[in-house]
Amino acid sequence: MNILPALSFSEEDKIRTTQLYDDALVVTLIGGYDVKRVMVDQGSSAEIMYPDLYKWLNLKPEDLTAYDSPLISFNGKVVITKGHIRLPMQTGSEVVEVNFIVVDAYSPCIAIMARPCLHALGAVSSTLHLKVKYPPGDHIE
């Protein structure tokens, strides 16, 4: 039986972080592209892609599949979606297919990584340590 090491955070994980506030956890995902400013939102059930990332990946409207479910933004307003797309996402050596809902709205982040993606990766996030850890010990700061 192959037992993976426990995913945990220590005081050393807080080195080079600012602990004054409980801000959102924003990470960089490395795959085929180095995607920065990805917000980790454990409270969301939908992975979101904003226009900056959509354009940067050179996606076109024909790459999208229709998405008709309403999407509610952080401020409680309904956001109109452009569609959704399934893309591979790589963290460390792990690659998973992720369904991103593409929206036409402003955000300082370019994507949101939510519960389904964290679950698929077996990832654990900590806003206190400003990190996401992935088995078997790979992590993104």
Q: In the chain, where are the structural domains located?
A: 28-131
pLDDT per position as a tens digit, 18-38: 655 555 555 556 456 677 788
pLDDT at 65 over 90: yes
pLDDT at 100 over 90: yes
Categorize the per-residue pLDDT at 86 as very low, low, confident or very high, splitting at 50, 70 and 90. Answer: very high
Question: How many Cβ atoms are within 10 Å of 19's Cβ, its own excluded?
Answer: 9
Q: What pTM was estimated for this model as a whole? A: 0.73
**Residues contacting 118, CB < 8 A, separation 6+:** 40, 42, 124, 125, 132
CATH of domain 28-131: 2.40.70.10
pLDDT at 102 over 80: yes
Six token digits for residue 103: 């929206």
| The predicted structure's pLDDT at residue 35 | 78
pLDDT at 44 over 60: yes
Mean pLDDT within 52-60: 89
CA 45 to chain centre: 11
| The predicted structure's pLDDT at residue 25 | 56
| The predicted structure's pLDDT at residue 27 | 58
Q: Please check whether residue 82 is in contact with residue 102, taking contact to mean a CB–CB distance below 8 angstroms.
A: yes
pLDDT at 12 over 50: yes
The string over 46-60, giving b where at least 16 C-beta atoms fall within 10 Å of a residue's C-beta and e elsewhere, is: bbbbbeebbeebebe
| The predicted structure's pLDDT at residue 141 | 40
Between 17 and 82, whose confidence is greater? 82
Distance CA 73, CA 78 (A): 6
